[in-house]
Amino acid sequence: MNSAGNAIWDEFSDRYRTRSAIRADFTNNRVEADRSNSYPYIDSRGLAISVTGRYNGNKRLVEEQLAEADTFTRSNSSINSSRASWDLEHSVGIPLFMELPPNIDYNYSVNITSNGSGSVSGVHDLAPAHEVAVYIPKSGMSFLVYTKDNEGFNNLFPTHGNQRFNASF
């Protein structure tokens, strides 16, 4: 899953705010971070966070800061030769604004079969933009299964709702 300002999906792009990349290795029965050559910037947990930039009225970058993940948890991982599943929860602040607005939050659950079909469902804030994609290494297959545009960072406050999603592939 990606969260970004108003990004256009590219599974190999480095233009994102946060990215989680988890893979199901059916050969070795492991659910783990995807640290392949495709995602060299993913850490051992399966997370990458890039810098957040602030721009002036002339669209010139005036400041960059890196946020730390407040929460990044993968749980309920299960795999056998034909099925894998896991849950993921992530919460990260916006470093340029200290404690305001509240963190960007998302969580999702994945169920996938060894033939590449499956489902992902979860909940995320209405900002920033969110994308969910499936990439099957060594197959050349990658596709976007869910996308939601940024509806404004004021939507991070608790008085605004969250977006639920459910996608099959």
Q: Which residues are CB-neighbours of 59 under 8 A, at least 6 positions away?
A: none
**Whether residue 167 has pLDDT greater than 90:** yes
pLDDT at 6: 47
Taking the C-alpha atoms of residue 116 and residue 141, their distance in angstroms, rounded to an integer, is 10
List, for residues 58-88, the tens digit of each pLDDT value.
999 999 888 877 899 999 999 999 999 999 9
pLDDT at 154: 85
Residue 78 burial (CB count, 10 A): 12
Most confident of 31-35, 133-137, 142-146, 164-168: 164-168
Question: Chain-wide mean pLDDT for the chain?
Answer: 85
Taking the alpha carbons at both ends of the chain, their separation in whole angstroms is 15
